Amino acid sequence: MRLPKFEYFAPRTLEAALNLLIEQGQDAHVMAGGTDVMVKMTHGRLKPRAIVALQEIEGLEGVRFDAAEGLTIGATARLAAVASHSDVLKYYPALAQAILSMANVEVRNMGTVAGNLCNAAPSADSAPPLIVMGAEVTLASLKGERRLSLDQFFTGPGFTLMEHGEIMTSIRVPVPPPRSGASYKRISARCGVDIAAVGVGATATFDGEVCKKAAVVLGAVAPIPLRAMKTEGLLLGQAWTQELIEKAGNEAAEEAKPISDIRASAQWRKNMVAVLTQRALREAQERAQNA
Ligand SMILES: Cc1cc2nc3c(=O)[nH]c(=O)nc-3n(C[C@H](O)[C@H](O)[C@H](O)COP(=O)(O)OP(=O)(O)OC[C@H]3O[C@@H](n4cnc5c(N)ncnc54)[C@H](O)[C@@H]3O)c2cc1C
């Protein structure tokens, strides 16, 4: 398999990249780490006339934490750099957990969180933990900037609200509230490097024993990362017992809309949603107790 011919641009400023996307038209494609783009091009699923690479653009590579603003992940920050950042490990362990469950060292050294989100695979591992933690993304275009809640970003497999001519410049995750915890659990059908067959992100905030905020997002069991609203409703306003957590796992399995494919059957995926939701909720609760 050979790469098709294409023009390659590596602009040094965001403005130059945005101009290139407009000049080169609909057949121009953005590339960050290239771990999805190159695979698709090699297999003939993507045939861009021009690639606009983001890695040389100054100022997009940072990962920083601020006690008021929270975590900001630049569009070209590598997955490995995000997962090993001391503030991510301290305040956002569910995100580190998700990234470290992805792919392998080589891919994590190349790929980016922004690329994982913009690629919009239903199995994207960084999406469930970021959605439950209330992340928003910043999209830049020649018209200016707009911010979107990640919860609203995905529209279908491979599709988002992002338009041609827009570049995601950063992802922002709010400071976790006191007495809160989050977790991400995933399973792949094969050992080793494989995308998630099911992934579950969960977060909860407690007042004493009672849950005052909860979010559960299911990956790889619907066309987009799926917010399990009924499950969240069961957990809210309750003290979490073993029985309640089991009930929530079963409810999440009911809410999941998986398909059967080469990796797993729909029924196996539903069973795994129940198990992983329970595990994620327990870990989120433990982390909240220790926060
Ligand atoms: C062997 C292997 C294993 C993998 N395992 C996993 C896994 O376990 N879990 C998982 O979730 N993924 C996995 N992936 C997929 C991939 O590595 C991730 O999705 C990665 O995070 C993509 O990041 P990237 O920077 O390489 O994206 P790229 O390939 O550069 O881009 C991906 C898409 O996003 C767009 N894009 C990228 N950055 C921006 C931006 N800033 N603004 C606008 N559009 C942008 C591109 O145009 C493209 O459509 C795997 C890939 C490989 C090759």
0.85 exceeded by pTM: yes
**Is there an atom of ligand 1 within 6 Å of 52 CB?**
no
* Residue entry with tokens 């999941």: 256
pLDDT digits (tens, 9 = 90+) for 234-258: 999 999 999 999 999 999 999 999 9
Architecture label for domain 181-290: 2-Layer Sandwich (3.30)
Distance (Å, rounded) from C-alpha 221 to C-alpha 247? Answer: 19
* Residue entry with tokens 């957590």: 245
What is the radius of gyration, based on Cα positions, of the chain? 19
Distance 130 CA to ligand 1 centre (A): 16
| Domain ranges, ordered by start, for the chain | 7-53, 63-173, 181-290
Under the banding of pLDDT at 50, 70 and 90, the label for residue 266 is: very high
Architecture label for domain 7-53: 2-Layer Sandwich (3.30)
Q: Indicate the CATH number of 63-173 among 3.40.50.970, 3.40.50.2300, 3.30.465.10, 3.40.50.300.
A: 3.30.465.10
Nearest CA to ligand 1 atom 6: 103
Residue 162 alpha carbon, nearest atom of ligand 1: 43
**Is there an atom of ligand 1 within 6 Å of 125 CB?**
yes
**Is there an atom of ligand 1 within 6 Å of 119 CB?**
yes
Answer whether residue 143 shows pLDDT above 90: yes
Answer whether residue 72 shows pLDDT above 90: yes
- DSSP helix/strand/coil, 22: helix
**Is there an atom of ligand 1 within 6 Å of 225 CB?**
no
Task: Specify whether the CB–CB gap between 228 and 236 falls below 8 A.
Answer: no
Mean pLDDT for the chain overall:
96
**Is there an atom of ligand 1 within 6 Å of 183 CB?**
no
**Is there an atom of ligand 1 within 6 Å of 204 CB?**
no
Q: DSSP string spanning 234-276?
A: HHTTSB--HHHHHHHHHHHHHH------SS--HHHHHHHHHHH
User: CA nearest 122: which of 261, 16, 3?
Assistant: 261
Answer whether residue 291 shows pLDDT above 90: no
**Range 15-22, long-range pairs (CB < 8 A, 24+ positions):** 17/52, 17/54, 17/57, 17/167, 18/140, 18/141, 18/142, 18/165, 18/167, 19/142, 20/50, 20/52, 21/52, 21/164, 21/165, 21/167, 22/142, 22/165
Residue 149 tokens, joined: 């809640």
Fill in the DSSP letter of residue 222. Answer: S
Nearest CA to ligand 1 atom 19: 116
